[in-house]
């Protein structure tokens, strides 16, 4: 893969090209790597760091970056700072009432439950071409961009959120954990940020904040979606009507869609 850009105008446009249209070699790596077992993975190329898949990749020279262990060295040290503002979809999945759950389960059992949640979320979302950005406490954050997930990146985010809840047991059994999901879409900055000692491939901007606040409103087993994300799947949910919510930090009420788990959008 050619080196992504730095901060000047020419290289910023190269970033935009990679993030919106993708790069053939990167797309090939993502599709190949996601079939190898062994999470956690590089959040750019899907290179597995653990298990048998991780062993094979380490033998081929794919190792975690010294600057960010969630990215392989090829996707971090070799990628300079920079990025571009592009349209993206942001997904947050959060365990509900985690404080009470931790108290009830005890430290060890709670840690095991979190690990199952992380592993399930990472596996499901990566298979839907997400970049799993952060695993924070009881929360998972991922983003979907055209260059990695294709032009239907908003649909991919919604399908990924629905499939995650299904894999956690909602709709087909006893749920593993009480989890709610929120999704928003909009223009955000995507790229490498940080300094000389630490580089992070991430997404920044108001859609990130909105998605986090949307998921905070979702009930256990519920996926709440903003209008800007819902428009991509509206035909699959002809009977779905928006509900009005007060979104923290916003002066005006917002309309959100609560999606059923069983829909053509899950196929």
Residue-wise pLDDT for 107-129, tens only, equals 999 899 999 999 899 889 988 98
Neighbours of 69 (CB within 10 A): 13
For residue 220, tell me if it sits in a domain. Answer: yes
Confidence band (pLDDT; 50, 70, 90) for 2?
Answer: very low
pLDDT of 248 reads: 82
Instruction: Classify residue 157 as left (phi > 0), alpha (psi -120 to 50) or beta.
Output: alpha
In a domain, 194, yes or no: yes
In this prediction the pTM is 0.82
pLDDT in tens, 130-139: 888 888 889 9
Number of folded domains in the chain? 1
Residues in Cβ contact with 61 at an 8 Å cutoff, skipping those fewer than 6 apart? 74
Torsion from C-alpha of 193, 195, 196, 198, nearest 10 degrees = -70
In a domain, 156, yes or no: yes
Asked whether residue 113 is domain-assigned, the answer is yes
Q: How many CB atoms lie within 10 A of CB 260?
A: 14
131 DSSP β-pair partners: 143
Fill in the DSSP letter of residue 106. Answer: -
Asked whether residue 203 is domain-assigned, the answer is yes
The residue-averaged pLDDT of 188-206 equals: 86
171 falls within a domain: yes
pLDDT at 24 over 80: no
CATH of the domain at 143: 3.30.70.1230
- Owning domain of residue 98: 84-266
Note whether residue 207 is domain-resident. yes
- Identify which of 259, 205, 229 has the alpha carbon closest to the alpha carbon of residue 89: 229
| Bridge pairing between strands 139-144 and 131-136 | antiparallel
SS3 229: helix
Lowest mean pLDDT among 59-68, 130-139, 147-156, 159-168: 59-68
Residue 168: which pLDDT band, with cuts at 50, 70 and 90?
very high
How far is the C-alpha of 261 from the C-alpha of 100, rounded, in Å?
26
92 belongs to a structural domain: yes
In DSSP terms, which residues pair with 202 in a beta bridge?
Answer: 191
């Amino acid at each position: 893969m050619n080196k992504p850009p730095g901060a000047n105008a020419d290289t910023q446009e190269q970033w935009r090209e990679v993030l919106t249209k993708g790069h053939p070699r990167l797309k090939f790596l993502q599709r190949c790597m996601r079939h190898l077992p062994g999470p956690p993975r590089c959040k750019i190329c899907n290179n597995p760091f653990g298990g048998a898949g991780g062993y094979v990749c380490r033998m081929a020279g794919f190792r975690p970056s010294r600057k960010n262990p969630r990215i392989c060295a090829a996707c971090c040290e070799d990628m300079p700072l920079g990025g571009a503002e592009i349209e993206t979809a942001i997904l947050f999945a959060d365990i509900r009432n985690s404080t009470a759950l931790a108290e009830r389960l005890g430290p060890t059992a709670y840690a095991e439950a979190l690990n199952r949640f992380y592993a399930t979320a990472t596996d499901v979302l990566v298979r839907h071409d997400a970049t799993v950005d952060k695993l924070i406490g009881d929360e998972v954050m991922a983003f979907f961009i055209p260059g990695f997930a294709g032009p239907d990146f908003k649909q991919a985010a919604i399908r990924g959120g629905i499939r995650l809840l299904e894999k956690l047991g909602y709709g087909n059994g006893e749920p593993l954990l009480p989890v709610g999901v929120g999704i928003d879409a909009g223009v955000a900055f995507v790229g490498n940020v940080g300094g000389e000692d630490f580089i992070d491939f991430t997404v920044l901007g108001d859609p990130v904040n909105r998605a986090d606040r949307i998921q905070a409103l979702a009930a256990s087993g519920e996926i709440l979606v903003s209008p800007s994300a819902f428009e991509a799947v509206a035909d699959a949910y002809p009977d779905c009507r928006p509900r009005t919510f007060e979104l923290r930090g916003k002066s005006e009420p917002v309309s959100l869609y609560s999606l059923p788990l069983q829909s053509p959008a899950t196929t």
